[in-house]
Amino acid sequence: MNRSIRKSILRGTGAVLAAGAATFAAAVAITMSGPAWAASQDYSFELVQVASAGPGRSDVTVRLVRTVDGKPVANADISATAAIGTTAERAGDRRFRVETTTAGPQTLQVSAKVPGPTRVQRTFNSSVKFWEERKIRGKDEVVIGVVAFDAR
């Protein structure tokens, strides 16, 4: 094969490999940055209870559930934008004290941070014949939603 043809083939191959490496690096950087946003169809917020907490205040209890099986997400960190104080209830429930100006329909914006799944990574060190295990937690997912309730 002619030397100039061989050089141009190698240059073309190098350019393709460099572009592929750059694309892979960008994909890894995007994947590893910050928490993931969960799809809205994976989780939903449920209104558990609304109780009067005095004039112009309501206690609103909210739960995050997986839509696949309807089970509450026990380890989710639920927060609300307009809540005065929060109290953890039973696993997966969170109670918010909300100031309401009028009685009747109200909305409360809520969000939850769901911890990612944990996996075990095992590596074998052959020089000392030792298995090392470590737990690696996956990326957190952020879920955002709105809960409607009637102020008491």
**What is the total count of domains within the chain?**
2
Residues 52 and 103 occupy one common structural domain: yes
Average pLDDT, the chain: 77
Q: What pLDDT is attached to residue 82? A: 78
Based on its alpha-carbon atoms, the radius of gyration of the chain, rounded to whole angstroms, reads 26
pTM: 0.61
pLDDT at 109: 92
Same domain flag for 74 and 140? yes
**Which range among 21-25, 30-34, 39-43 has the greatest average pLDDT?**
39-43
Q: Are residues 95 and 137 in the same domain?
A: yes
For residue 92, the domain's CATH number is 2.60.40
Q: 49 and 107: one domain?
A: yes
| Separation of alpha carbons 58 and 47, rounded Å | 13
Q: Say yes or no: 123 and 67 in one domain.
A: yes
Are 7 and 76 found together in one domain? Answer: no
Contact between 113 and 140 (Cβ < 8 Å): yes
Range of the domain at 136: 36-151
